[in-house]
């Protein structure tokens, strides 16, 4: 009670006339008062679990929710209104969603015939984009060659039916409409502004403003007006700095994406890592490859100025998380296919770090490196067998928590090599020091946990490191935590380790270098208020990790 009185006195002092301060400065002042009171009452003593700092839980919730509209969380010029401890966005047309990040589906229950409904920026905010030679506005009537769809001097030749035609293209021009010229190619950095509109498999691309794309945005993924207004076409593009152009397609009624049938420009360096897709980890390395036990550096991914996922997490950039590992399992001596089980992080060419609870006896293990989509053969991917699993000697599992939940994977070398360093496969650094509470870090993975299925596409999310004493409040985890653990997420809920994998990495960055600071361990459900994810604290295990590697 005395603490609350002192706190109220401090708050009253803030009301006295003084030079104006910003909202963020005010929150810093309030936070400092709470921290000072905390140190005053409990400095040098063990954190009590009853009647102690929980008294200030109400204030931290106040601090978290007081400034919810500054900065404005509403996208696309939405207006923010405070609603209790949350906010409400009033969205301009055609946007909707909690943060005005979605485009309203004006095309629902509308039939576009042989066409595709697309979203446009002016009323009525949609139109029917017909496939040639079907005619607007309903895309039901076909008149081949009435208007010549062939470009660059191509000649339209009618087929046997009203909807069939072919384009006879002049020399050096190709494509369904003769739209692909002799200089149509993608540049060394993967950028492309040409006219190819089909994938390597020959599937026609969806328009970038198709309602099927824009209605799929997740609550936590933003879309700017520029992204929503990718020009109204279906030409292949590379908006996320992938290695080559790509586009969205519809396969078996589901939204997907594929790289496009575009060649690289002459004179450009070949794309890094010309490795064929393989599921065979025993594929020998080239005899000319040098034996290597260390990569050139750790913790430095391929530079990118674009976020690692767009359009609701439906695509991830290859190489954004080059240390990300898919730990895969099958029953010993069986012919079953390997299945994704957990995440892990590559820390040395022949070593990966994961959670102890992922390791099941009497199984065969392998790792996939450099992968983004687990259901597709990717030329960036490397498969390596696991030679040995090493679980921490003090790992214990109770009904309430997992203690010392960490393990090492020793990879099996072939011709003296395990993982090969590429643009898409790199090691992450072990932490050299602690990161401050409140640091924003990244979790990544395919969302696999023991009790639910996973995404085929690599996902990521940003979380905050939360003070250990805050996670020890009774409203959170009480006395379940020990020094082998840390917690990270958002106290309001919504984003936590459910966006990563069990055993996957929590990575924090400093000066452009990335460190594996935590390993996804356990938690109380997904995205629940006051229940952030719990991670194995890697700084507590660096000596153990180094000792095991040196002894192997």
SS3 157: strand
Distance CA 505, CA 324 (A): 8
3-state secondary structure of 38: helix
pLDDT of residue 128: 86
CB 375 within 8 A of CB 456: yes
When pLDDT is cut at 50, 70 and 90, the band that residue 239 belongs to is confident
- The pLDDT-based confidence of 25 (bands split at 50, 70, 90) is very low
Residues 401 and 462 in one domain: no
Q: What percent of the chain has pLDDT over 90?
A: 32
- pTM recorded for the entire structure: 0.58
Peptide bond into 177 cis (omega under 30): no
Tell me whether residue 405 is one of the annotated catalytic residues. Answer: yes
Render pLDDT for 422-457 as a digit per residue (tens, 0 to 9).
888 999 999 989 999 999 998 888 875 545 567 777
**Confidence bin at 93 (pLDDT 50/70/90):** confident
Task: Give 266-293 pLDDT, tens digit per residue.
Answer: 876 544 433 333 344 434 333 334 334 5
Which range among 210-224, 466-480, 522-536 shows the weakest confidence by mean pLDDT? 210-224
Inter-residue contact 130 to 136 (CB < 8 Å): yes
108-117, 215-224, 299-308: segment of lowest average pLDDT: 215-224
pLDDT at 301: 77
Nearest Cα residue to 506 out of 476, 405, 496, 384: 496
Checking if the pLDDT of 105 tops 90, the result is no
> At 449, which CATH number?
2.40.10.10
Interval 199-207 mean pLDDT: 88
Give the whole-angstrom CA distance, residue 73 versus residue 81. Answer: 10
Asked if the structure places residue 331 within a domain, the reply is yes
Question: Which of 365, 380, 274 is closest to 321 using CA atoms?
Answer: 380
Answer yes or no: do 404 and 444 share one domain.
no
Q: 233 an active-site residue?
A: no
Asked if residue 195 is part of any domain, the answer here is: no
In a domain, 225, yes or no: no
Q: Which of 184, 405, 496, 501 is catalytic?
A: 405
Where residue 92 sits, what CATH number does that domain have?
2.10.25.10
The beta-strand segments (E) located in 61-161 are: 79-83, 86-90, 95-96, 102-103, 115-119, 126-130, 155-158
DSSP string over 120-148 = -SSTT-EEEEEPTTB-TTTT--B-TTSS-
- Name the domain boundary from 51, 84, 104: 104
What is the arithmetic mean of pLDDT over 501-519?
A: 92
Residue 243 lies in a domain: no
Quick check: is 31 in a domain?
Answer: no
**Structural domain that includes position 523:** 440-551
Residues 405 and 488 in one domain: no
Separation in Å, CA 464 to CA 102, 194, 390, 493 = 25, 41, 29, 12
Please state, in angstroms and as integers, the Cα–Cα distance from residue 374 to each residue in 81, 327, 347, 434, following that order: 41, 11, 21, 33
**Catalytic position from the list 197, 371, 502, 521:** 502
In a domain, 90, yes or no: yes
Given a contact cutoff of 8 angstroms between Cβ atoms, the answer to whether 102 and 93 are in contact is no
Backbone phi, then psi, for 485, in 5-degree steps? Answer: -125, 155
Give dist(CA 364, CA 343) in Å, integer.
16
- Give yes or no: residues 469 and 371 share one domain: no
Over 80: is that where the pLDDT of 407 sits? Answer: yes
For residue 147, tell me if it sits in a domain. Answer: no
Q: Are residues 542 and 454 in the same domain?
A: yes
Sign of the alpha-carbon dihedral angle for 92, 93, 97, 101: negative
Nearest to 507 by CA among 323, 334, 255, 384: 323
Percentage of the chain modeled with pLDDT above 70: 72
Same domain? 523 vs 480: yes
pLDDT of residue 493: 62
Give the SS3 label for residue 326: strand
- Do 406 and 449 fall into the same domain? no
**Total domain count for the chain?**
3
Instruction: Tell whether 201 is covered by a domain.
Output: no
Q: Are residues 501 and 403 in the same domain?
A: no
- Let me know: does 395 contact 403? Beta carbons within 8 Å: yes
Q: Which of 211, 357, 403, 514 is labelled catalytic?
A: 357
**How many Cα atoms occupy the beta-carbon half-sphere of 271 within 13 Å?**
19
**Mean pLDDT over residues 87-113, rounded?**
81
């Amino acid at each position: 009670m005395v603490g609350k009185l002192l706190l109220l006195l401090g708050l009253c002092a803030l009301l006295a006339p003084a030079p104006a301060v910003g909202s963020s400065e005010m929150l810093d002042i309030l936070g400092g008062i709470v921290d000072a009171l905390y140190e005053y009452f409990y400095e040098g003593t063990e954190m009590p679990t009853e009647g102690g700092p929980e008294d200030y839980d109400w204030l931290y919730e106040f601090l978290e929710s007081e400034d919810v509209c500054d900065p404005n969380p509403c996208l696309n010029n939405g207006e923010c209104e405070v609603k209790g401890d949350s906010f409400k966005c009033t969205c301009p047309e055609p946007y909707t969603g909690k943060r005005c990040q979605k485009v309203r589906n004006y095309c629902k229950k509308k039939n576009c015939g042989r066409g595709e409904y697309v979203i446009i920026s002016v009323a009525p905010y949609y139109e029917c984009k017909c496939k040639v030679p079907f005619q607007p506005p309903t895309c039901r009537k076909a008149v081949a060659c009435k208007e010549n769809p062939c470009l660059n001097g191509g000649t339209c030749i009618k087929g046997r039916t009203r909807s069939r035609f072919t384009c006879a293209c002049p020399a050096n021009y190709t494509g369904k409409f003769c739209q692909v010229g002799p200089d149509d190619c993608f540049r060394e950095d993967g950028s492309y502004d040409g006219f190819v509109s089909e994938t390597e498999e020959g599937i026609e691309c969806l328009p970038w403003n198709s309602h099927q794309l824009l209605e799929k945005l997740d609550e936590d993924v933003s879309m700017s007006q520029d992204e929503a207004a990718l020009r109204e076409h279906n030409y292949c593009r590379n908006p996320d700095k992938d290695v080559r152009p790509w586009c969205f397609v519809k396969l078996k009624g589901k939204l997907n994406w594929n790289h496009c049938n575009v060649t690289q420009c002459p004179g450009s360096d070949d794309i890094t890592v010309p490795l064929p897709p393989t599921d065979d980890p025993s594929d020998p390395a080239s005899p000319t490859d040098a034996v290597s036990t260390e990569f050139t550096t750790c913790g430095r991914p391929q530079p990118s100025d674009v976020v690692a996922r767009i359009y609701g997490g439906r695509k991830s950039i290859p190489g954004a998380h080059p240390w990300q590992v898919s730990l895969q399992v099958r029953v010993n001596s069986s012919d079953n296919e390997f299945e994704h089980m957990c995440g892990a992080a590559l820390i040395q060419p022949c070593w990966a770090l994961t959670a102890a609870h992922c390791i099941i006896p009497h199984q065969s293990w392998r790792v996939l490196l450099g992968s983004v989509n687990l259901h597709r053969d990717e030329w960036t991917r490397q498969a390596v067998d696991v030679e040995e699993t090493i679980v921490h000697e003090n790992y214990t599992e109770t009904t309430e928590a997992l203690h010392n939940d960490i393990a090492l994977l020793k990879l099996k070398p072939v011709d003296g090599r395990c993982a090969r360093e590429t643009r898409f496969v790199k090691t992450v650094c072990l932490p050299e020091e602690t990161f401050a509470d409140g640091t924003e870090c990244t979790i990544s993975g395919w969302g696999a946990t023991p009790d639910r299925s996973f995404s085929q596409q690599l996902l990521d999310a940003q979380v905050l490191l939360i003070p250990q004493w805050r996670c020890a409040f009774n409203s959170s985890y009480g006395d379940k935590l020990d020094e082998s653990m840390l917690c990270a997420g958002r106290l309001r809920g919504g984003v936590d380790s459910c966006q990563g994998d069990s055993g996957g990495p929590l990575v924090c960055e400093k000066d452009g270098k990335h460190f594996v600071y935590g390993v996804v361990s356990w938690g109380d459900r997904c995205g629940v208020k006051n229940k952030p994810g719990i991670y194995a604290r890697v700084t507590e295990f660096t000596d153990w990790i180094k000792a095991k590697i040196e002894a192997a």
